[in-house]
Chain A
Amino acid sequence: MTLTVDIERTLGSFRLKTAFSAGKGVTALFGRSGAGKTSVVNAIAGILRPDRGRIDINGEVVFDDERGIDVPTPKRRIGYVFQEGRLFPHLSVRQNLGYAGLFSRGMPASEFGHVVELLGLRDLLERRPGNLSGGEKQRVAIGRALLSSPRLLLLDEPLASLDAYRKDEVLQYIELIRDEIRIPVVYVSHAVEEVVRLADTVVLLSAGNVAAVGPAEEIMGRPDLRASTGAFEGGAVIEATVVEQDVQDDLATLQFDGGTLTVPNVDALIGEPVRVRIRARDVSIALERPQRISIQNVLRGRIAALGPGSSGIVDVSIAIGATTLRSRITARAIRQLGLVVGLEVYALVKSVSLDRHGTGAA
């Protein structure tokens, strides 16, 4: 499955000019508010008509201004989960889930049962949207979209209106459908943690243009994109595998290309892949292996790059095996330690800084 988008649209003084391709798995459209993320998914869904361009889903052209093609929204077979859920208030949860079935877009009963089980909706079926919690609403909205025989699922900031606890709950369900129902997903977000946890590919949007496309860890780790990804969120993403679960201390040991990490509260079984995001400001640097210290993760590596720095703060890239970690330290510390490219150092990472928002199933 491939999605190819190449569109232009002028909305007042805002100019959207976006081109990218998305393959299987989760593609994140990432960028600040007003970067044009929602306009892009609306164009894919046929809710917003581009001025120019082409949209191709799996080889079927659904929009092409030159050839005069503009497949209407109901015929595009795209599941769309909106930021505010948009459940039909006059229908029960069961009727909401079955809505697409009224228009020959429904799924067989077995599929209905499967989705209901997967998203934990069994007890909600006879309720009405008016008295569901925010998290429950989004789960129903996801189920409703999945049950419309979509070939592509669009999620537009589905967690934006939820509190931190509900966010985490819904995020776990999204991870579940990503792994269980192999449907390509376009996920819109301006939250780094969500993108890093979910996405395979990141399309970075900035003022209506694609600033960068690439694997999640690479895009989010690039210092030159910090203006778009957020100055205080700089860091690195590590793909790792669970090799040990210490139930007593609730700590997991993760193996990655370059060493091991000890991380608390990982919801994954031994052998399962996980993704860990380590913020640059949570990584310290030592010239010798420290003794008698509480820090659980001491990783030996080599300085791969220094800077660019600003306001006395510098990001240091440390190569650990095939993995690159980033450490944000002061320019003074660099001077005092005499850090230069190629120097052997120890990267120190507190286990507690790797909270559950930074760790997720890969």
Chain B
Amino acid sequence: MSLTAEELEILQLSLRVSLWSVLLSLPFAVAVAYSLARANFPGKTLFDAAVHLPLVLPPVVVGYFLLLLFGRRGPIGALLDDWFGVVVMFKWTGAALAAGVMGFPLMVRAVRLSFEAIDRKLEAAASTLGAGPLAVFATVTLPLALPGIFTGMLLSFARGLGEFGATITFVSNIPGETRTLPLAIYTYTQVPGGDESALRLSLLAVALSLAALFVSEVMVRRATRRIMGDDSDGRH
């Protein structure tokens, strides 16, 4: 099956939105996951709950909150517009923001678990060898957390590809700008004679998800193998 120009555009937009959502939320997710895994501070439980909100709230509600916050007159949206001339509402960047927010708890959970699984004695060993706290994080903690970080990236990416409710509420359904794969499928199911197009796009979504799963599996395996310490000759 070869893709039509329109399908190609939808695919490219969906990939761009999801990739940017993952890349932009990654540093925040790592920081939040690390503080949840390691730090103790007042209000930690509340903070943890807040991070998980997008997972349990109806996506439409998340989209509506984004509209309130990042809309042109919203507190953050007005700032972005005044200072940087950036408007995310009704733009693909807004779709990426919505996807990032929806995928955030999934990414944080995976990264946090891998931080918690790290043997902290290794970090103590690094400090006896001269590594300060930042160096310990960069050379021991982060590399050992890589499998979890890859898993988190995939979960968030997949969540972003499937994002519907928050996206349509926040940035609407604009062809070529915010009409990602799920929105396009939905649109076709609403018009007479759109069945075939909806089916083709649905199959495309299946292929995309499988490909993402495959790539992530390979990355996790490679990272895990590095950590578990298999030599290249496969000796055990």
Contact = CB atoms under 8 A, between A and B. Distances in A.
Nearest to A132: B229
B231 interface: yes
Interface of B: 119, 121-122, 124-132, 135, 139-140, 143-144, 226-231, 235-236
Pick from B122, B127, B144, B230 the residue with the most CB of A within 10 Å: B127
Given A76-B128, A130-B230, 19 more contacts: A72-B127, A73-B127, A74-B130, A74-B131, A78-B128, A82-B121, A86-B121, A86-B122, A89-B228, A99-B131, A100-B130, A103-B129, A103-B131, A105-B130, A127-B231, A128-B231, A131-B235, A144-B129, A145-B128
Interface in A294-341: none
A88 interface: yes
A131 B231 contact: yes
Given A126-B231, A129-B229, A131-B236, A103 B132 contact: yes
A292 to B, nearest CB: 56
A123 to B, nearest CB: 12
A86 B126 CA distance: 9
A255 interface: no
Contacts of A127: 231
A121 B127 CA distance: 23
Contacts, number: 82
A67 interface: no
B130 to A, nearest CB: 4
Given A86-B121, A88-B126, A88-B140, A102 B228 contact: no
B125 A89 contact: no
Contacts of B131: 74, 99, 102-103
A223 interface: no
Closest 4 CB pairs of A and B: A130-B229, A128-B229, A103-B130, A105-B130
A198 to B, nearest CB: 21
B130 A148 contact: yes
A47 B125 CA distance: 10
A74 B127 contact: yes
Interface of A: 45, 47, 72-80, 82, 84, 86, 88-90, 99-100, 102-105, 126-131, 144-145, 148
Contacts of A105: 129-130
Contact of B143 (A73, A90, A102, A148): A90
A103 B121 contact: no
A353 to B, nearest CB: 39
16 contacts: A73-B127, A74-B128, A79-B128, A80-B125, A86-B119, A86-B124, A88-B122, A88-B140, A90-B229, A99-B139, A103-B129, A103-B130, A103-B132, A144-B129, A145-B128, A148-B129
Contact of B125 (A77, A82, A102): A82
A6 B144 CA distance: 37
Contacts of B236: 131
A99 B130 CA distance: 9
Nearest to A150: B128
Given A86-B121, A88-B140, A80 B227 contact: no
A102 B229 contact: no
Pick from A72, A76, A128 the residue with the most CB of B within 10 Å: A128
A131 B130 contact: no
B231 A100 contact: no
Contact of B128 (A88, A104, A129, A148): A148
Contacts of B122: 86, 88-89
Given A80-B125, A130-B229, A90 B144 contact: yes
B18 to A, nearest CB: 28
Contact of B230 (A80, A99, A103, A131): A131
Contacts of A148: 128-130
B128 A80 contact: yes
Nearest to A95: B139
A316 B61 CA distance: 87
Contacts of B226: 90
B139 A102 contact: yes
Contact of A99 (B121, B124, B126, B143): B126
Pick from A86, A127, A145 the residue with the most CB of B within 10 Å: A86
